[in-house]
Amino acid sequence: MSIKKVYFDNAATTPVDESSIEAVLSVMKYSWGNPSSTHAFGRTSRSLLERARRQFANDFDVDPAEIFFTSGATESITIAFHSACKEGVKHIITVSTEHKAVMDAANEMHIRHNIPLTILPVNQHGAIDLSELSEALQLHPGKALVAIMYVNNETGVIHPLKEIGEMVSNYNGLFFCDCVQAALYQDIKPKAQFVDYFSLSAHKIYGPKGVGLLYINKAREKHALWRGGSQERSLRPGTENIPGIAGFTAAWEKAQKNKDANQKKVQLLANRLLEGLSQIKGAKRNGTSTASHIVHLSIPSNKSTSAILLEFDLAGVALSAGSACQSGSHQRSHVVEAMGLPKGYVELRISIGKQNTEDDIDYLLTVLHKIAAN
């Protein structure tokens, strides 16, 4: 008898939407010209590229010249940090629960350019204290680069983006925001939110892997990581991934069109999950002011996290303990450590997608009850 399989690791990656697949295949079949070529084949690809750029720019209320396509959020983050440091940044401020890509970029700039680095703590709910950010912005003279994500990728905690951006702006700093987990359900308006740079990734919004986006305010300096061509206005040399960008755009358009309906569905599923979790002794949700699609919980257990995840996997349930980028590590997540969550528990991240159903939630709860009882 086959085992039921359900997927609750949508914060790691999402299944590719049919509209995105069709867009990718269409470009591969009919619009495969090099967008830098001046003949008709190239012009067709160039038209697709610039149409995609205008689509994103319109939805973010920015200039198309401020939108750059990349291979994904990690590359976008790295370009943003290098670009910011070219502006003479004298201090880097980030948070202890940031994605590893941001933490590594901050540490690289700290070491390479000898720039002071401040890592702000969070409380037990994963929230930052804005007064501590204000104090940090006054620690060193000169311009600071502040890097704080919109929605935490492990806990779903939503940081007060506009308040942070306004504070950074008031101190004449630069603000980078990782918006990867915010893209589906939060409003992203960088001008109104005082954001200088932000990153997105296609495969987190039902698009293909290997393509992402970087926004850079046109008033900011830009610094390429390598040389080799004038693509993306010389910021990201190399022939553009037109099939990926087309799939990214199709996924984005579909997500924006169905945003309210999808969010309502996901919230109802999350509520059903939380109601079921209340029946498990000692189980608790972590985080405060969280996004609807990420439920981070702790369950009492003396077993290792890897053993618990294996039990879920054998039962056909795909979920995680945290970021997929650190899934090979057997240590507790740096996010869990930063929040000071107590030992004697196993932390799980259940991330819900638009494709999930009430039956999926009920099956997950059945498996969770069995594992918790053992």
How many residues does the structure list for the chain?
374
Confidence grade of residue 373 (pLDDT, cut at 50, 70, 90): confident
Q: What is the mean pLDDT of the chain?
A: 95
User: Which domain, by its residues, includes 112?
Assistant: 18-257
Q: State whether 184 and 235 are in the same domain.
A: yes
C-alpha 101, offset from chain centre: 10
Lowest mean pLDDT among 226-230, 256-260, 330-334: 330-334
Q: State whether 290 and 352 are in the same domain.
A: yes
Q: Return all residues near 274 (Cβ < 8 A) that are at least 6 apart.
A: 285, 295
Q: State whether 190 and 266 are in the same domain.
A: no
DSSP code, position 202: G
Tokens of residue 370, six digits: 């069995």
Q: Express each pLDDT in 128-176 by its tens digit.
A: 999 999 999 999 989 999 999 999 999 999 999 999 999 999 999 999 9
**102 near 147, Cβ under 8 Å?**
yes
Determine the pLDDT at residue 330: 54
**242 near 27, Cβ under 8 Å?**
yes
Q: State whether 50 and 144 are in the same domain.
A: yes
Q: State whether 317 and 250 are in the same domain.
A: no
Dihedral sign for Cα atoms in the order 219, 225, 230, 236: negative
Determine the pLDDT at residue 10: 98
Determine the pLDDT at residue 176: 98
Distances (CA, A) of 60 to 64, 100, 215: 10, 26, 9
In the chain, how many domains are there?
2
Closest Cα to residue 158, out of 278, 290, 252, 251? 290
Q: In what order do the strands lie in the sheet with 294-300?
A: 284-286, 294-300, 345-351
- The three-class DSSP label of residue 22 is helix
Section 306-310 average pLDDT: 94
Q: Express each pLDDT in 186-237 by its tens digit.
A: 999 999 999 999 999 999 999 999 999 999 999 999 998 989 889 999 899 9
Give the separation between CA 10 and CA 368, rounded to whole angstroms: 18
Domain end call among 240, 257, 274: 257
Q: Express each pLDDT in 26-71 by its tens digit.
A: 999 999 999 999 999 999 999 999 999 999 999 999 999 999 999 9
pLDDT over 80 at 238, yes or no: yes
Count of CB atoms within 10 A of residue 361's CB? 23
pLDDT over 90 at 324, yes or no: no
What's the CATH number where 322 sits? Answer: 3.90.1150.10
Owner of token pair 């038209």: 47
Q: State whether 47 and 172 are in the same domain.
A: yes
Section 340-366 average pLDDT: 96
Q: Catalytic annotation on 325?
A: yes
Q: Which of 85, 177, 179, 325 is catalytic?
A: 325
Task: Judge whether 321 lies within some domain.
Answer: yes
Section 270-275 average pLDDT: 97
Distances (CA, A) of 276 to 157, 214, 268, 290, 362: 21, 39, 13, 18, 8
| Residue 290 CB-half CA count within 13 A | 24
Domain end call among 214, 230, 257: 257
> Which residue stretches of the chain are H helix?
18-30, 40-60, 73-85, 100-113, 130-137, 161-170, 242-257, 259-277, 305-314, 334-339, 358-373
Confidence grade of residue 323 (pLDDT, cut at 50, 70, 90): low
Task: Judge whether 69 lies within some domain.
Answer: yes
Owner of token pair 């099939």: 243
What's the CATH number where 56 sits? Answer: 3.40.640.10
Confidence grade of residue 177 (pLDDT, cut at 50, 70, 90): very high
DSSP code, position 182: G
More confident residue, 220 or 2: 220
Distances (CA, A) of 315 to 5, 13, 349: 8, 20, 17
- The three-class DSSP label of residue 67 is strand
Determine the pLDDT at residue 164: 98
Task: Judge whether 1 lies within some domain.
Answer: no
Determine the pLDDT at residue 325: 53
Distances (CA, A) of 317 to 5, 155, 326, 360, 368: 6, 19, 19, 9, 10
Give the separation between CA 338 and CA 258, rounded to whole angstroms: 35
pLDDT over 60 at 88, yes or no: yes
Section 103-122 average pLDDT: 97
Q: Can you name the residues that pair with 69 across neighbouring β-strands? A: 213
